[in-house]
């Protein structure tokens, strides 16, 4: 009997040990917030909702929500990025990545709002999916912008290949084409060239506005020699230093362009002739 109990205890211990890494993996870090405009909230699995800041860890199964003035850019382990516009809600539902083989998959569930996906290693293999209430989009390669609202889904393919599928039909698009999807049970509209004004609209809502800096330093007043100086925390490894560089560069990239310098005063050539 004692031998049987020891055997049962050993079996249970082995099962718990095997389950522990899987449970921990549900909350593993999969990326970093590299630019944040207030306010953007994140809710990790089983955790409380907090306001995201630059450098915050992005976890597997995390819910992201932006306010009417909030936006955020997320950098993932496979070097892909998500830029999330105001009034957007989504979940990073699945993210598995093996850097040794550059393999894995990513699934993002967009409930409402607008996001821009810029591909990394996983999208090169067609292993990235964006799921919305109106359709599921498979992505291979480059860049896509997806907006889910009351009138359904707009799926813009700025670079690469997309396969859009819902409960009625399947449509494939290539670079510079888009589709409209009214709902899950309505046919997907035919692909058509992306209108330039729609591209401008999406760039506008995905960018910082006046007085927003992505939580980075303002562009005005930067030194003209030696590059910008930032109050970075000391780091002990080259990897952390590289991440700091990438975070600061991304924050600068999300800022609006500074106003142009005033024109020089006009030259009075006639006075010199007199």
Classify residue 78: in a domain, yes or no: yes
CA distance 274 to 268: 11
Percent of the residues in the chain that have a pLDDT greater than 70, as a whole number: 66
Classify residue 184: in a domain, yes or no: yes
First to last CA, the chain: 118
Say yes or no to pLDDT of 248 above 70.
Answer: no
CA distances from 36 to 32, 50, 125 (A): 11, 13, 29
pLDDT band at 36; cut points 50, 70, 90: confident
Count of the separate structural domains present in the chain = 1
Classify residue 41: in a domain, yes or no: no
Residues 6+ apart with CB under 8 A from 204: none
Looking at per-residue pLDDT, the higher value among 45 and 186 belongs to 186
Say yes or no to pLDDT of 174 above 60.
Answer: yes
**What's the confidence (pLDDT) of residue 144?**
96
**Closest of 48, 52, 50 to residue 38, by C-alpha:** 52
* pLDDT tens-digit series, residues 82-95: 999 999 999 999 99
Give the mean pLDDT of 5-24: 39
Give the mean pLDDT of 240-266: 49
CA distances from 185 to 42, 153, 169, 170, 181 (A): 31, 12, 9, 12, 9
Classify residue 238: in a domain, yes or no: no
pTM above 0.75? no
Give the mean pLDDT of 221-245: 40
**What's the confidence (pLDDT) of residue 264?**
60
Burial of 261 (0-12, 13-18, 19+ CB in 10 A): exposed
Classify residue 263: in a domain, yes or no: no
Tokens 């035919």, residue located = 190
Classify residue 218: in a domain, yes or no: no
**What's the confidence (pLDDT) of residue 40?**
80
* pLDDT tens-digit series, residues 114-149: 999 999 999 988 999 999 999 999 999 889 999 999
CA distance 154 to 115: 11
pLDDT band at 172; cut points 50, 70, 90: very high
**What's the confidence (pLDDT) of residue 208?**
66
* pLDDT tens-digit series, residues 182-207: 999 999 999 999 999 998 899 888 88
Domain of 110, in residue numbers:
63-206
Classify residue 57: in a domain, yes or no: no
CA distance 96 to 61: 11
3-class secondary structure for 29-94?
A: EEEEEEEEECCEEEECCCCCCEECCCCCEEECCCEEEECCCCEEEEEECCCCEEEECCCCEEEEEE
CA 144 to chain centroid: 11
**Closest of 212, 255, 214 to residue 35, by C-alpha:** 214
**What's the confidence (pLDDT) of residue 45?**
80
Classify residue 225: in a domain, yes or no: no
**What's the confidence (pLDDT) of residue 141?**
84
pLDDT band at 218; cut points 50, 70, 90: very low
Domain with residue 99: its CATH number is 2.60.120.1440
Are 95 and 103 within 8 A, CB to CB? no
């Amino acid at each position: 009997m004692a031998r049987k109990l020891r055997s049962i205890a050993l079996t249970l211990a082995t099962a718990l040990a095997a389950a522990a890494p899987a449970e921990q993996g549900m909350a593993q870090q999969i990326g970093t917030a590299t630019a944040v405009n207030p306010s953007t909230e994140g809710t990790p699995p089983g955790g409380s909702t907090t306001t995201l800041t630059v450098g915050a860890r992005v976890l597997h199964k995390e819910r992201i929500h932006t306010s009417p003035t909030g936006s955020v850019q997320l950098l993932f382990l496979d070097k892909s990025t998500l830029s999330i516009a105001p009034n957007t809600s989504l979940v990073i539902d699945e993210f598995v990545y093996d850097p040794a083989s550059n393999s894995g998959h990513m699934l993002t569930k967009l409930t409402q709002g607008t996001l821009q996906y810029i591909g990394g290693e996983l999208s090169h293999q067609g292993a990235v999916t964006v799921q919305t209430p109106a359709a599921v989009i498979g992505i291979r390669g480059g860049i896509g912008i997806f907006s889910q609202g009351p009138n359904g889904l707009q799926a813009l393919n700025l670079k690469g290949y997309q396969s859009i599928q819902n409960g009625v039909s399947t449509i494939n698009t290539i670079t510079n084409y888009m589709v409209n999807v009214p709902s899950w049970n309505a046919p997907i509209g035919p692909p058509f060239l992306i209108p330039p004004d729609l591209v401008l609209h999406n760039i506008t809502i995905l960018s910082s506005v006046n007085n927003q800096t992505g939580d980075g330093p303002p562009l005005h007043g930067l030194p003209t020699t030696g590059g910008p100086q930032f109050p970075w925390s000391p780091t002990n490894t080259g990897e952390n230093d590289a991440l700091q560089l990438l975070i600061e560069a991304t924050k600068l990239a999300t800022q609006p362009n500074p106003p142009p310098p005033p024109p020089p005063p006009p030259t009075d050539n006639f006075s010199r002739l007199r």
